[in-house]
Amino acid sequence: MNLQRISAIVVKEWREIVRDRLFFALAFVVPATLTLLFGFGLSLDVENVPLAVVDYDRSALSREYAHRFSDSRYFDFKGQLSDLREADALLMRGQVRAVVVIPEHFEQRLLSGRPAEVQTLVDGTFPFRSLTSKGYITAINASFSAGVLATAIAQTRGVSVEDAAAALQPVPVEVRYLYNQSVKSVWSIAPKLLMAIMMISPPFLTALGIVREKESGSIFNIYSSTVTRGEFLVGKLAPYVGISFLNVLILWVLACFVFGAPFKGNALFFALTALLYVICTTGIGLLVSVAVRTQVAAMLGTAILTIVPAVLYSGILIPISSLSSVATVIAHLLPGMYFANITVGSFLKDVDLGELWPDVLALALYATVLFAAGYRLFHKRTAT
Amino acid sequence: MSAALRRPGLGIWLRRLAAMTRKELLLLLRDPVLLFVIFYGFTFDVYNAASGVTLQLKSAAVAVFDLDRSAASRELASRLQPPQFVPLPPLERGGEGQKLLDRGQALMVLSVPPGFSRDLAAGRTAPVQLQIDATNTALATLGYADATQIITQFGLEQALRRQGISEAAAAELPQVENRVRVWFNPNQEDAWFMGISEMLNVVTAFAILLTAALMVREKERGTIEQLLVSPLSALQITAPKVIAMVIMIHIGISASLLLVLEPLFDVPIRGSLLLFALVTTLYIVTLSGLGLLIATLTRNLAQAAMLGILVLAPMMFLSGVWTPPEAMPPAVRMLVHISPLYYYSDAGYAILLKGAGLDVIWPSVLGIAGLGVLIVASGLSRFRRQFG
């Protein structure tokens, strides 16, 4: 390893990046834009679910039941429908996502002290949304049902409705949300967003940068020079690691000051692990660039290889515990999951090396393996 | 010069188009790594997305810190069961729960205070505490909903028992039962949703990035000059790339649907595949206009790739697949209508999962077509101005 040769390559690469002004600008604009977009827009809160009601009973009680849904902020009441056929058509067109169907004799059954049944049709196209809607529906129904039951018991036992209702709810649940007291989703998303975007952007930059030389043929200058493969790889990748690390800092600033995510952990620990992570993801780009010959393939290959795992397998939308066994294995094979633990720990929990050393170790191992593989596979002589 | 030379007949026009299309297909076929990437995207990638993920609350770890140690508290604890919950061994000391939550080993800790069963038996309220790790909001919300439902039901049963009302008698009391029926995806299989959404995303990514790449490559290598001096119009240069891509993507979609989604995940294909193919073609043509626009704005592939991502990500985001449009801020909700993927995914799910026909999805088709005319026209006109 000759430092002078390495620095010469670093300077050459840096000039090449900076002179392509659009590319240089996009290297910073893309991660920041994605963070702002997803941070402001991505929300898993299921609210304003469009809902309609088919009321076959048309009684005071059935109207009260329907009101419980239309008054809820979780549902956006789209009006009364005349019959099931209309409900069918609206669900099919996606104009409503849930329809509550109240049958005839609803009031009559309840007032005569018998149980009544209501049906809700939910559009299951988006499973997470339909599951959450189901939870709201069950909760609203339970509260209405408890009210009816309390009224009935109050009448038969001769106590007040309030007492009867209290007696029916003997086990109230006191909930405390830890780490994110108000359950703001942007808080929980911002740190993981940093991880996901830094999983996508560095491999792109790196793969394109290396394959560009391969495709344009300028790499033959390297092949015929005294530069060793190690020196070439270090010199070539250093500017991309630098750009990516700068991006981490920018995204960190966005997370803290634009999204107001608290940073409770150790800044130095976070910076060092972030550098390690960026080296890992740059290494992914290196591996892709070794495997492909054209920039088109490099671009699409990195897109397919990084975007899906970054979004799906790293715990940003879906918790690791909800992954299937195959996906859990894949998740463990990628660096994103380990760094997600570190960002979440550093931002929201104030834990550092004492708690997170397994993740740091995994990242270090990952970086070593990637660069060893890249070094082994990168040859100064083409196969053909 | 005769008029016939300046205005070649339709036959020659078509033959030129065919020759150029053949050239584009040959170029694609001669890059085996690229072909593998396309194949991987439509099969393995879709498989991964469909098999890997479930947004349902599944095996969330729950620890119980029981200070009461009574029959009632044990019964309450025993109700937090699979599939939603996985009970952890009971906690001995108070700090243990905090540690489990810190390490992310438990989603929830339920604490039952001393005197729980005594209060319950005496008819007093006996509150319990639930600590939830809210770092993952979605999971915390689902976990909270499920746990409170279970605990409330437990409370109701205890109360009725105390009042001397048997279970059989309780069933005859005036209560409302809400039977929730889920349509189109009755078991709420995440694989159906995730698989299809991934397939639509892959189509989107390839349609934009591949067109942009095929165009920019000609610019970067200088081969565009050769095309410009040939008797080809702008449309004859660009359309063959789109046609080649439409062919590749249709092969990819067929592999996705018939080799992965239908046989491996039992995704029902309820609607007409022909209709889906037609809508897809319209969609790809629309997106290729975007690719063309990107190609006119950039000088090399690296720029085109970054700009492509900058266009692609917001489009996927605004499609409403990840975030329901209803939950978006009103200003963003308006923007949804300029994402072609919004209309395409609407139409795609409707055709594949709901079995909808053109009578239902025509507004979406109109949306794609409207955007398409706008985008392709501006892409072509920029291309003409740049190389005219």
Q: Do A119 and B302 touch (CB under 8 A)?
A: no
Q: Please count the other Cβ atoms lying within 10 Å of the Cβ belonging to residue B111.
A: 21
Closest to B280 (Cα-Cα) out of B376, B182, B374, B204: B204
The CATH number given to B60-170 is: 3.40.1710.10
Per DSSP, the three-state class of A121 is strand
Partner A contacted by B70 (CB < 8 A):
no
Distance from CA of B130 to the nearest CA of A (A): 5
- Do the beta carbons of residue A340 and residue A323 sit within 8 Å? no
3-state secondary structure B138-201: HHHHHHHHHHHHHHHHHHHHHHHHHCCCCHHHHCCCCCEEEEEEEECCCCCCHHHHHHHHHHHH
Question: First vs last Cα of chain A: how many Å apart?
Answer: 28
Reading the block at residue B134, the tokens are 């809210």
Residues 306-345 of B with CB under 8 A from A: 306-310, 313-314, 317-318, 321-324, 326-329, 332
* pLDDT over 80 at B381, yes or no: yes
Neighbour order of strands in the sheet with B108-112? A173-178, B128-133, B108-112, B60-66, B85-87
Angle between helices B301-317 and A21-41 (to 10 degrees): 10
CA distance B359 to B91: 59
Q: What is the pLDDT of residues A244-280, one digit of tens each?
A: 999 999 999 998 888 878 888 888 888 999 999 999 9
Which of A182-191, A220-229, B164-173 ranks highest by mean pLDDT?
Answer: A220-229
For the segment B11-70, what is each residue's pLDDT rounded down to a tens digit? 888 888 899 999 989 988 888 888 988 898 899 888 888 887 666 666 788 899 999 999
- What is the radius of gyration, based on Cα positions, of chain A? 29
Q: What average pLDDT does range B257-264 have in this prediction? A: 91
CA distances from A18 to A194, B28, B303, B306, B328 (A): 24, 31, 12, 15, 37
Residues 6+ apart with CB under 8 A from A160: A154
Amino acid B337 reads H
**CA nearest to A178 within chain B:** B133
What are A80's strand-pairing partners? A53
How far is it, in rounded angstroms, from Cα B140 to Cα A183? 8
What pLDDT is stored for residue B58 in this prediction? 67
Which residue among B144, B217, B321 sits closest to A296, beta carbon to beta carbon?
B217
Query: Do residue A299 and residue B353 have CB atoms under 8 angstroms apart?
Result: no
Task: Enumerate the CATH 3.40.1710.10 domain ranges in chain A, comma separated.
Answer: 49-168
Which of B27, B31, B68, B175 would you mutate first to test chain A, the one with the most A CBs within 10 A? Answer: B175
Least reliable range by pLDDT among A3-12, A371-380, B51-60, B300-309 = B51-60
Q: Say if residue B329 is exposed, middle or buried (CB neighbours under 10 Å; 0-12, 13-18, 19+).
A: exposed
Sign, CA torsion B261/B264/B270/B271: positive
Q: Residue A64's pLDDT is what?
A: 92
Q: Give the residue with greater pLDDT, A337 vs B276.
A: B276
Residue of chain B with shortest Cα separation from A74? B327
Report the candidate in A128, A88, A134, A110 with the shortest Cα–Cα distance to residue B179: A134
The answer on pLDDT for A335 being more than 80 is yes
| Strand ranges for chain A from DSSP E | 49-55, 75-81, 98-102, 116-123, 173-178
What is the distance between the alpha carbons of residues B141 and B138, in angstroms, rounded to a whole number?
5
Interface of B with A in 112-171 (CB under 8 A): 119-120, 123-142, 144-149, 151-152, 154-156, 158-160, 163, 171
Q: How many CB pairs under 8 A join A and B?
A: 405
Contact B195, B50 (CB under 8 A): yes
In chain B, where are the structural domains located? 3-52+188-387, 60-170
**What is residue A378's DSSP assignment?**
-
What local confidence, expressed as pLDDT, does residue A120 receive?
Answer: 92
Range scoring the smallest mean pLDDT among B47-61, B218-232, B365-379: B47-61
What span, in angstroms and rounded, lies between the C-alpha atoms of B185 and A97? 13
pLDDT reading at B103 higher than 80:
no
pLDDT at B4: 46
A chain contacts of residue B155, beta-carbon cutoff 8 Å: 168-172
Return the pLDDT at B3: 46
Q: What percent of chain A has pLDDT over 90?
A: 20
Sign of the Cα pseudo-torsion (B179, A43, A47, A345, in order): positive
- Put simply, the answer to whether A212 touches B54 (Cβ < 8 Å) is no
Between CA A221 and CA A384 the distance in angstroms is 17
Q: What ipTM does the predicted assembly reach?
A: 0.79
Nearest CA in chain A to B97: A178
**Residues B120-154: tens digit of each pLDDT:** 888 888 899 998 887 666 778 888 888 888 898 88
Task: For A112, list phi and psi in degrees, rounded to 5.
Answer: -90, 10
Instruction: Please give the pLDDT value at position A185.
Output: 61
User: Tens digit of pLDDT for each residue in A148-197?
Assistant: 888 888 887 777 777 777 777 778 888 777 765 555 566 767 888 888 88
Q: What is the CATH code of the structural domain delimited by A49-168?
A: 3.40.1710.10
State pLDDT tens for residues B187-208.
777 788 888 988 998 999 899 9
Query: Residues 6 or more apart from A53 whose CB is under 8 A from it?
Result: A66, A69, A70, A77, A79, A80, A81, A99, A100, A101, A102
What is the rounded CA–CA span in Å between residue A366 and residue A373?
Answer: 11
Cα B229 to Cα B387: distance, rounded to the nearest angstrom: 10
Helix, strand, or coil (residue B133): strand
Confidence tier at A382 by pLDDT (50, 70, 90)? low
The structure tokens listed for B261 are 């989604």
How high does pLDDT run on average in chain B? 85
Closest CA in chain A for residue B311: A30
- Bridge partners of residue B262, in order along the sequence: none
**Cβ contact (<8 Å) for B152 and A169?**
yes
pLDDT bin (cut points 50, 70, 90) of residue A316 is low
Q: What is the pLDDT of residue B1?
A: 42
In the Cβ-directed half-sphere of B15, how many Cα atoms lie within 13 Å? Answer: 6
Distances (CA, A) of A278 to A196, A200, A202, A206, A292: 11, 10, 7, 11, 22
Distance of alpha carbon A53 from alpha carbon A70, whole angstroms: 9
